[in-house]
Chains A and B, each alone.
Chain A
Amino acid sequence: MNDLTDLTLTETLEALDNKKISEEELNRAYQQKIDNLNPILNAYLYICQGSSGIPYAVKDVIVTEGIPTTAGSKILEGFIPPYNATVIERLSYHNLRIIGKTNCDEFAMGSSGENSAYGPTKNPWNLNKVPGGSSSGSAVAVSAGLCSFALGTDTGGSIRQPASLCGVVGLKPSYGRVSRYGSIAMASSLDQIGPITKSVADARLILSWIQGEDGYDNNAVSYSNIKSQTKKSDNLSGIKIGVPKEYFGKGLDTGVESAVKKAISKMEELGGQIIDISLPCTEYAIATYYILMPSEVSSNMARFDGIRFGTDRDNFGQETKRRIMIGTYVLSSGYYEDYFIKAAKVRTLIKQDFERAFEKCDVIVGPVSPTTAWNLGAKMADPLAMYLSDAYTVPASLAGIPSISLPCGFSDGLPVGLQILGKYLDEEKILTIAEVYEQSTEWHKMKPTVDMS
């Protein structure tokens, strides 16, 4: 056995089953790697010691009983939740162990990880680059082998985009597939918890563990459960793959475009039928998102009043304050109809875009992020440029449909992600297609070498 920390969750389970490795060895290997790399990467905000179970990482916006949870904010510094999120409870039945809480943009608001009050997380492929966000620490921990898998949350791309920028798999389930109980809310109508993993099979397995209705979240649905494993298929024959022209327009980096187009050719080679489609409302997605999301944020942040827990409201970071102000404005009487109501209508149109497209195809593919990882600090002074980096992930969030990001190549030495979007609650299909693609390529096996100098 070479490096235990390279093993996927599925491989780890097998190796433990066959007694090829012990839980103690496994934990020691991860712990050692964390000791070496976390001071450089800043992926973990809190590390839990232990030697049994399979170690996994949890984004710090998901509450863990007895383990500090800060949501990347100074306002929750020292906060120890008295309860577990539903996903944590569900994972506790699978011989897993929380190895640490991962860094993230404050309250999951950001696309680079730089909005964390505890310093930015570094991209293991290039320490000068951002890892993406907001599930920065989770994506980096998986990419650098600091855990077997991680949980993230995705509101407008916060699982998929860092997964893409770090070269790992990230799945945003359909809205309602996974209970949100215990996920510190950013925008409640969009938030979803999902896995960040080393393989598509892992993402499937974890989703099968955490999915399903919950007596603590009205919006979590029970619907055709995801199988924990599938029969291996090696082709995509009969699968109609939609390619939206709006996802290949202005703003898309040529290196990213070429990697994604190659991936699409590969899918065609595998028997997939490529169909040109249009999602005409795509250009309104960011504007719509930046009205609806801050509205919910402004209300969700109101409980951080320093009375029952946490510190003073002065401790909110810049981006959080910006969104509270935008949301408060948008919901004010006199503006509500012009902004909130209108945006809610456009959201419906975006949903209909997808419904119409899925009459012609089984899945939709495109890039995750218009660019690869950018330099730390490059977009901090320009919030709009930062917002636009979510242009291809936000539409699926607004529509509530599932979407996965998986490695599909490199541009200038930095990973590029392929996004596969599916019908509402049809995770089964995007996972199956992603697995076939993954099996036919080697991208997911590429690991970063962290510059220790």
Chain B
Amino acid sequence: MKRYEPIIGLEIHVELKTLSKMFCGCSADYFGQKPNSLTCPVCLGLPGAVPFTNAQAIQDCIKIGLALNCQIAENSRFERKNYFYPDLPKGYQISQYRWPLCTNGYVDIEDSQNQKIRIRINRVHQEEDTGKLSHLDGITAIDFNRSGVPLVEIVSEPDFREVEQVRIYAKKIQQIFRYLEVSEADMEKGNMRLEANISLREAGESKLPEYRVELKNINSFKFMGDAIEYEIKRQQELLEKGEKITQHTRGWNENKKETFVQREKEEAHDYRYFPDPDLLPLKIEKLEEIRKSLPELPEQILKRLQSMYGLSYYQSQLIVSERFLVDFFEDAVSLGEENKISAVDVANFLINKNVDINKVSPEEVISQITFKKSGIISDTSALREVVKEIIKENPQAVADYKSGKIAVIGVLVGAVMRKTESKADAKIVKELISELLS
């Protein structure tokens, strides 16, 4: 039996969180807003309206390109992608085709077998989002709030050979968007959308297959993974039967857990791309400034956490998963230095205890670690609870204290020490008692 190898490429669309839309002054923050409340002649495609380029969006697109190791084009321009759809008010989308802003980049990923793979990026280009159709009872409603929201498209080369690689890559790109603070990149909200193209070739073959099947309109990492896996199996069965697969587009039916035909090749559009005459070629200014303004990216932090703090790759990766966690970790480490707590201890504590960093402060984390190591409880909030209990259990001592026999505080401290098996920080206990009884 022949062995087949999947050839997978991925397109990622991401909406930028700029203040205004791509070509007009309307707010780009449309989520949850009243339909058609964020519109103007430009994003409604009214007669006479002319686009005006949002410079911030161009900068953000360049940032993404730079983060993905792309070359930034000296000559870039917008083009019109002509097609009809009711959510596309001008009858064309302002996009890029022949002159994308960023080209020839790459992203290195490490798959589950710790194998390093380089995914080449064909292009990163700027375009605008369309409106949104809602199919209601018998009618279709159009909301143009999303029309004209800046959208960046990232097209990979067909360099993936396994579903897992696609998942790791997509997550990594999502992380980069968030570190760059150019997008929320929330799949559920539709800020980030994936499209995969899949074909199979015989193992050992080096040419790309003559067909490719595109998977579109899939709104979660999981469904995309499931759909690709299904598709690999489906195509393999067809090829084994000697059938020829033609180019077409498929969607994912989550209920049936299968892909289905959305559009045949014969229905493929001729988009009649041509340079948008409303917009002169883009002048890329301040490229060096943009380059310098890039924040530290996950990959760089990953390396730094290992070299600077001696964390393992695994630990570093978990901490890098969110920018906020990196900051939290580094704050805790610098606090811990005084108490002779190592960075590795902090990392272990954060990871093993599954600490919810939204609820605790780096200070509290350090005191918890300190207690674990020395046995001394110096966590004020924990001790406060114990002190409250002791106060309740010793009404006579409390009454004496309040009547002026201050020396009685020793009795209460002693009770706390007994309860905590002498692990409490006596100084803090004393302070807490006088505070609670004052």
The answer to whether A and B assemble together is: yes
- Looking at the assembled complex, report how far the CB atom of B109 sits from the nearest CB atom of chain A, in whole angstroms: 35
Chain A's interface size range is 35 or more
Complex contact A71–B47 (CB within 8 A): yes
Complex contact A216–B82 (CB within 8 A): no
- Looking at the assembled complex, report how far the CB atom of A271 sits from the nearest CB atom of chain B, in whole angstroms: 39
Complex Cα gap A62–B49 (Å): 11
Complex contact A187–B46 (CB within 8 A): no
Residues A218 and B279 in contact in the complex (CB < 8 Å), given A295-B274, A307-B86: yes
Complex contact A331–B278 (CB within 8 A): no
Residues 27-85 (chain A) with a chain B CB within 8 angstroms: 61-63, 69, 71, 76, 79, 81-83, 85
B88-96, B161-169, B336-344: which one contacts chain A? B88-96
A178-186, A198-206, A242-250, A315-323: which one contacts chain B? A178-186
Complex Cα gap A148–B381 (Å): 83
- Looking at the assembled complex, report how far the CB atom of B406 sits from the nearest CB atom of chain A, in whole angstroms: 73
Residues 56-110 (chain B) with a chain A CB within 8 angstroms: 80, 82, 84, 86, 89-92
Contacts of B273 in A (CB 8 A): 331
Residues A303 and B90 in contact in the complex (CB < 8 Å), given A76-B47, A218-B53: yes
Q: What's the dominant secondary structure at chain A's contact region? A: loop
Residues 168-218 (chain A) with a chain B CB within 8 angstroms: 179-185, 187-190, 215-218
Q: Which of B86, B91, B142, B272 has the most CB of A within 10 A?
A: B272
Complex contact B278–A305 (CB within 8 A): no
Complex contact A308–B44 (CB within 8 A): yes
Complex contact B46–A309 (CB within 8 A): yes
- Looking at the assembled complex, report how far the CB atom of B265 sits from the nearest CB atom of chain A, in whole angstroms: 14
Complex contact B47–A81 (CB within 8 A): yes
Complex Cα gap A184–B278 (Å): 12
Residues 139-186 (chain A) with a chain B CB within 8 angstroms: 179-185
Which of chain A's residues has its CB closest to B142's CB? A307
B277 at the interface (CB under 8 A from A): yes
User: Number of residue pairs across A and B with beta carbons under 8 Å?
Assistant: 106
Complex contact A305–B280 (CB within 8 A): no
Complex contact B47–A217 (CB within 8 A): no
Complex Cα gap A179–B49 (Å): 11
A93-101, A332-340, A369-377, A417-425: which one contacts chain B? A332-340
Complex contact A217–B48 (CB within 8 A): no
B414 at the interface (CB under 8 A from A): no
Contacts of A81 in B (CB 8 A): 41, 46-48
**Interface residues as binary, A267-300 with B (CB distance below 8 Å gives 1, 0 otherwise):** 0000000000000000000000000000110110
Residues A332 and B272 in contact in the complex (CB < 8 Å), given A217-B52, A218-B53, A305-B91: yes
Complex contact A187–B277 (CB within 8 A): yes
Which of chain A's residues has its CB closest to B87's CB? A307
Complex contact A218–B86 (CB within 8 A): no
Complex contact A303–B52 (CB within 8 A): no
Among the listed A83, A85, A299, which residue makes an inter-chain contact with B80, where contact means beta carbons less than 8 Å apart? A299
- Looking at the assembled complex, report how far the CB atom of A77 sits from the nearest CB atom of chain B, in whole angstroms: 13
Contacts of A185 in B (CB 8 A): 48, 50, 278
Complex Cα gap A298–B80 (Å): 11
Complex contact B50–A308 (CB within 8 A): no
Q: Which of B89, B91, B92, B273 has the most CB of A within 10 A?
A: B91
A311 at the interface (CB under 8 A from B): no
Complex contact A188–B278 (CB within 8 A): yes
Q: List 5 A-B contacts (CB under 8 A).
A: A218-B51, A302-B90, A303-B45, A304-B47, A331-B82
